[in-house]
């Protein structure tokens, strides 16, 4: 009608164009509008769980690499020894896990973040003095954290593939202990997981995987990672501090000091039962 202005709606009401803004999304003629994240949506939950699994895996890679590189320091190796033992300790268990699951190339070959975390840990152990002073207690915490991180990451990844709960626990233990086994074989030492040292290792990994599995099967997958890591680390730390160990068969024969590979004795690790 003549003399009347056409009615127009603002872009935020009429669904007009939006453009990104530092505080969220800004409509073409309106203030910024924050984006909401609904954690109840299945797709969002899966993304959060996948991100948590990745963080736990990378945390285990870094701390495992530091511990492996420190073993190279004990053996008086050069920089290459630090890098090799750090890399093997950090990503060895994950490579075994991904190979057994047969879901494509190992993640370390697909995502560069794994190699970055492993080499960063090895270089940190080479540059800084970590075996003396206040960092000694930190190493024990790193050891426990590595075990818990690898165990829950292996368990969660197995569940994502769709394998059985028992297989998930088994893969979790293999992920936690695999890197250390490869590392110890490289330096001709009986793997830590099979040595009668104070502190549960495989049992702590089993506890971490079992707790992660229980939370996942009851619908609390977001808590499964944190709970599994906490339980695994706690079992490892408490058993080391209290000197708990698995039973050792008592024989009349005196244990020999040389290992099965003909290498030097392992006096730093063996204790009489």
User: For 122-146, what is each residue's pLDDT tens digit?
Assistant: 999 999 887 766 666 787 888 898 8
Q: What is the pLDDT of residue 180?
A: 92
Q: Is residue 217 part of a domain?
A: yes
State how far the alpha carbon of 102 is from the alpha carbons of 57, 67, 157, in Å: 18, 28, 12
Mean pLDDT of the chain: 81
Q: Which of 28-37, 41-50, 57-66, 69-78 is predicted with the least confidence, judged by mean pLDDT? A: 28-37
Instruction: Answer whether 179's CB lies under 8 Å from 88's CB.
Output: yes
What pLDDT score does 183 carry? 94
User: Is residue 56 situated within a structural domain?
Assistant: yes
| pLDDT number for residue 7 | 46
Instruction: Reply yes or no on whether the pLDDT at 236 is more than 70.
Output: yes
CB 63 within 8 A of CB 149: yes
Pull the structure tokens for residue 187.
């330096």
Q: Is 15 within a domain? A: no
Helix (H, G, I), strand (E, B) or coil at 6: coil
Q: Is residue 178 part of a domain?
A: yes
Residue 70 belongs to some domain of the structure? yes
Q: What's the farthest any 2 CA atoms get from each other in the chain?
A: 113
Q: How far apart are CA 176 and CA 205, in angstroms?
A: 6
Reported pTM: 0.73
Host domain of residue 81: 43-242
At residue 108, the 3 state secondary structure works out as helix
Q: Could you tell me if residue 263 is inside a domain?
A: no
Please count the structural domains in the chain. Answer: 1
In order of 31, 169, 210, the CA distances from 154 in angstroms are: 45, 8, 12
Distance of CA 123 to the CA centre of its chain: 19
Indicate the SS3 state at residue 205. helix
Domain membership flag for residue 143: yes
Express each pLDDT in 38-59 by its tens digit: 555 557 667 777 787 788 888 8
């Amino acid at each position: 009608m003549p003399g009347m202005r056409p009615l127009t709606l603002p872009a935020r009401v009429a669904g007009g164009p939006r453009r990104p803004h530092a505080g969220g999304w800004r409509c073409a003629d309106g203030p910024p509008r924050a984006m909401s994240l609904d954690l109840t949506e299945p797709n969002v939950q899966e993304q959060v769980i996948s991100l948590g699994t990745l963080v736990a895996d990378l945390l285990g890679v870094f701390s495992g690499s530091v511990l492996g590189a420190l073993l190279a320091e004990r053996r008086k190796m050069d920089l290459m020894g630090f890098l090799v033992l750090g890399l093997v300790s950090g990503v060895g268990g994950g490579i075994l896990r991904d190979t057994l699951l047969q879901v494509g190339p190992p993640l370390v070959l697909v995502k560069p973040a794994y190699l970055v975390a492993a080499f960063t840990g090895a270089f940190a152990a080479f540059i800084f003095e970590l075996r003396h002073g206040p960092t000694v207690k930190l190493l024990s915490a790193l050891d426990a954290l590595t075990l818990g991180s690898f165990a829950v990451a292996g368990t969660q990844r197995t569940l994502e593939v769709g394998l059985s709960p028992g297989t998930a626990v088994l893969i979790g233990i293999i992920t936690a202990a695999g890197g250390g086994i490869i590392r110890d074989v490289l330096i001709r030492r009986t793997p830590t997981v099979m040595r009668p040292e104070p502190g549960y290792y495989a049992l702590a990994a089993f506890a971490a995987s079992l707790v992660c599995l229980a939370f996942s099967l009851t619908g609390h997958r977001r808590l499964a990672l944190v709970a599994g890591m906490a339980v695994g680390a706690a079992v490892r730390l408490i058993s080391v501090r209290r000197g708990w160990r698995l039973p050792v068969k008592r024989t009349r024969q005196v244990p020999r000091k040389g290992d099965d590979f003909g290498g030097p004795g392992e006096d730093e690790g063996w204790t009489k039962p």
